[in-house]
Structure 1
Amino acid sequence: MRYLLSCLTVLLFISCNSKQEEKYAVSGTAPGVLNGIRAYYNVMDERGQLTAIDTSIIMDEKFVFDIKENLESPELRVLKIDGIDSNLLFITSPEGVEISVDKDSIANSTVKGGPINDAMTEYQTEKTNFQAFVKDLSSKRNQAMQDQDRDAFNQYNADYQKGLNNYKQILEKLQRKNEINLVGTMTLGELINMKVYDEKIAREQYNKLEKNVQNLPMSQQIDAYLKRIESVAVGQKAPLFEGHNPDGEVIKLEEIMGKVTLIDFWASWCKPCRAENPNVVAAYEKYHDKGFNILSVSLDQKTGRESWIKAIEDDKMTWNHISRLQYFGPLAKLYNVNAIPATFLLDENGVIIDKNLRGQALHNRLEDLLGEGQSQGAM
């Protein structure tokens, strides 16, 4: 999910209702910045790389970009000034954009350019304030750890959770207030990343975006992410995949299915996974003869091949195992797995019927499916 959020930050675009091409002008003031310093008007690619498409030399604390872009809709641009570490995001506007740069804290700069820039400024201000809050709190946490002050550390946790919850509420209000435009998309991505919105609410909010906003690369990344989640939701057919077992043989999910099947994403280095393995072993031993199969998918890397094989033996996991030895690679992405352990329980038809069952919950579910009178016979 971090990758997603970073991509969303990179691909901030905005669309307006007008279908006519507009010419967008940008100018500003930079109090305290010396004559001759250069300001750069940048576009940003999907990797976050900046490309200057216009340059202005600051004179008398003022700058004007001569470029007049012909755009069908407003888009994100980035202001960079020599000698100032951070950059400033702004959105082109048919009304023109005027920027007043705060050279000591560019985050405190003001951008005037229509309601969308006002909304974006509000969002960026709240985000900056939260980041400053976390930074200040982190220094207190580090001091508490250094002093081995448990009370202070517990207070840090309480303060952080309170601040985080407050920020989530602010984000949600901003998202609802801007649910058809770019700021709605920006905040939607962050709310998904912070798990405030589940896939159902996220999809509902995404569908409220104006169609031209949905067509933007940033929005399309959210859509693609939601589609990956939706493809492995309860009620969906499990996506098929294959991989090599420790002996180098190809094992296919479709060959394992036909019984109640648990797909178990884990790794030898994952302590919670290893702690859960005895419970999974017990479930397998109890229900395998009644029609329960397991396919474990290891997220070990190439350097961890021997550790993977040893963990299988040590934990007495006698079912099918595969790995591509690619960490959170294609198989994890196929099932939208970004943390382990992660499990998907399939019925006899390969339909996902439950997710992330652990401990007694796994046994209870299997008892419902395969208990007395439900036996299907072993595979």
Structure 2
Amino acid sequence: MSHIAWLSKKLDSGKVLCQACAQACKLDEGEYGICGVRRVEDGELRLLVYGLAAAVNIDPVEKKPMFHFLPKTRVFSIGTVGCNFSCKFCQNYDISQYPKEHEHKIVGREFPPQSIVEAAVDNVCKSIAYTYNEPIVFFEYTYDTAKLAHERGLKNIYVTSGYETRKAIDLLAPYIDGMNIDIKSFSDEFYKEICGARLKPVLEAVKYAHEKGIWIEITTLLIPGKNDSDEEIRGIAKFIAELDTSIPWHLSAFHPTYKMLDVARTPESTLLRAYKIGQEEGLKYIYVGNIDNEDHESTYCPNCKNRVIDRSGNIGQFVTNDLDEEGRCPHCGYMLEGVWS
């Protein structure tokens, strides 16, 4: 389905500027954006995946991962094809890179915003997540859905690589309640060579989304020999801590995939080393993922150090939340930061 991609601007040159993400594609008639799903047709930028879902699931919210956002609840997850990044380690490359690898072919089943919201309500989900591929590339679809979701009392989550423009964040802020943003590395070279992007716009998007009051959690996939040096890890930890020490940081283990099949899995020792560095930099909430480690996946009160949310099994499989609806620790009364109700 094609739909006007209204987050765009016609330039004096005759080109059309896409204003959704920091790639800032300037397109002539018939040209596609880097994402592969935004194209100029008859002088207008159009979103080719509006209302076309390539992936739909009901997940534990912990799987996003969002650990301080409505724990133990179900989230209705949806994604399309297309992405503005080209990460060589992408876990969802079959949909994210589909248009680029199939001569701009678009696939997906019809699933308009109203139907998504109805399905989320019918399945007793508390939120909708725009995930699997990069949601900013199907901005107008997410915007319309999120607005309807709020009208039905549902919250909204962006699971994103953090390339949103300020204009996009301004428009999303009233309707997007939480974002899990990847900081994939603290090296611009890594972003250019492995992801087809740059570091600075990501850091700027994190800061601006936080400034707008959206609940932020950060994820870093640690890849052996690529972004797992003490220097890089500490750089990310310092950046987060200087912004807000209460932002949760998810440290995730890499599994060989896509164009990085020759790179080894991340050892648990690397995650625990990063966990310690995060603690040294003053972060309150640090988590490890893609491994089975209950002690480092659970939440501890920063004040009294008691465990207040237990997580075990597969992600989101077994969760015990001892906090009240305001996020208050039952042991000392400390109000943990997050979205709890």
Rg larger for: 1
More helix per residue: 1
Using structure 1 for the length normalisation, give the TM-score. Answer: 0.23
Using structure 2 for the length normalisation, give the TM-score. Answer: 0.25
